Amino acid sequence: MVYIKMQPIYKIMSDRKTLTSSFNNNTTLDEVNLEVEKWAQRKVEELKTLKTLEDYRKDYVGNVSHELKTPIFSIQGYLHTLLEGGIYDENINIKYLKKALSNTERLQTIVDDLEMIAKLDSEANSIEISSFDVIKTIKRAVGDLEGFAVENEIDLILKYDLTEKLLVLGDESKIRQAIYNLLVNSIKYGKPKGRTIIQISTIDDIILIEFSDNGVGIEEKHLKHIFDRFYRVEPSRSRAIGGSGLGLSIVKHIIEAHNQNINVRSTFGEGSTFGFTLKKA
């Protein structure tokens, strides 16, 4: 009788339609008790995880809307001023239109980064690994950033025998994105007449790619947070230079999806070195 009454409960606990073999006519009440306790513990853990995810989702949505609001308010402000007569004032009309445009560009950056994060989240296991020449990838990223580096008076120096190939295993487009983000940061947070050195070293079948700038550096207390989504050391400075606060979290996501490591060393006022590993092909 007890056995028959317990059957449906056991089915629920095991999340299965059929009964587990551990439950039969000979199961004692002590064993049943133990199973129920284990099941309750599992449910407590599941609820904790769901609560953490829910808190994270709320924070994330809050952060996203906050990020979007700032440029939207700016654009509205400029357009209102122009509509209220500013359009005829030659001292401000072009200037305000340019500012409005640059805020739409900020919106674009934020949306692009959010898209990239969403893609990485949904494709967590779909990194497409192939063998590629990482020197070529670095050179492409450096080439794409040449203009930006010149504007900011930063030299990008690749220390490697450029006649040699270096084949690694990874998702080329994603690794290029990671390299690009690290280079962009080294330029954005560099000092004029500065430089970023890209260095490569090999340890057995692992290569380490490092990006060393002599820019503003990062204080110790911020270091453990800078890979978090939306974390910025100086929010107003980062926004002013077009940052979304997502660049490093994207890099970390990409490198970890490759089961590799990323690290940072920095001295405030002197510069930072970001490095990540990759497997040789």
Chain residues binding ligand ADP by CB under 6 A are 185-186, 189, 213, 215-218, 226, 231-234, 238, 243-249, 272
In angstroms, give the least distance from the CB of 229 to ligand ADP.
8
We find the least distance from the C-beta atom of residue 67 to ligand ADP, in angstroms, to be 10
One DSSP character per residue, 235-261 reads HHHHHHTT--S-HHHHHHHHHHHTT--
**What residues are paired with 242 via a beta bridge?**
none
Q: What are phi and psi of 202, to 5 degrees?
A: -120, 135
Residue with nearest beta carbon to ligand ADP: 243
- CB count, 10 Å around CB of 147? 9
151: enclosing H helix or E strand: helix 146-151
Q: How far is the CB of 145 from ligand ADP (least distance, A)?
A: 13
How many other β-carbons are positioned within 10 Å of the β-carbon of residue 205? 10
Nearer to ligand ADP, 35 or 245 (CB): 245
Nearer to ligand ADP, 35 or 213 (CB): 213
Residues 6+ apart with CB under 8 A from 24: 3
Cβ proximity to ligand ADP, 166 vs 182, nearer residue: 182
Q: Give min distance, CB of 139 to ligand ADP, in A.
A: 20
In degrees and rounded to multiples of 5, residue 115 shows phi and psi of -65, -45
Alpha carbon distance 75, 96 (integer Å): 9
Nearer to ligand ADP, 8 or 269 (CB): 269
Shortest Å distance, C-beta 245 to ligand ADP? 4
> Rounded to the nearest whole angstrom, what is the least distance from the CB of residue 186 to ligand ADP in the complex?
5
CB of 104 to ligand ADP, least distance (A): 17
In terms of CB distance, is 23 or 188 closer to ligand ADP? 188
d(CA 191, CA 272): 12
| Cβ distance to ligand ADP smaller for residue 36 or 264 | 264
CA gap 274, 138 in Å, rounded: 15
HSE (side-chain half, CA atoms, 13 Å) at 274: 27
What gap in Å lies between CA 34 and CA 29, rounded to an integer? 9
Say which amino acid occupies 49: T
User: What is the closest distance, in whole angstroms, from the C-beta atom of residue 251 to ligand ADP in the complex?
Assistant: 8
- Which is closer to ligand ADP, CB of 137 or CB of 272? 272
Instruction: Indicate the residue among 44 and 241 with the shorter CB distance to ligand ADP.
Output: 241
Q: Are 184 and 145 in contact (CB under 8 A)?
A: yes
Instruction: Kindly state the helix (H) or strand (E) to which residue 271 belongs, with its residue range.
Output: strand 271-280
Which backbone phi and psi does 81 adopt, to 5 degrees?
A: -60, -40
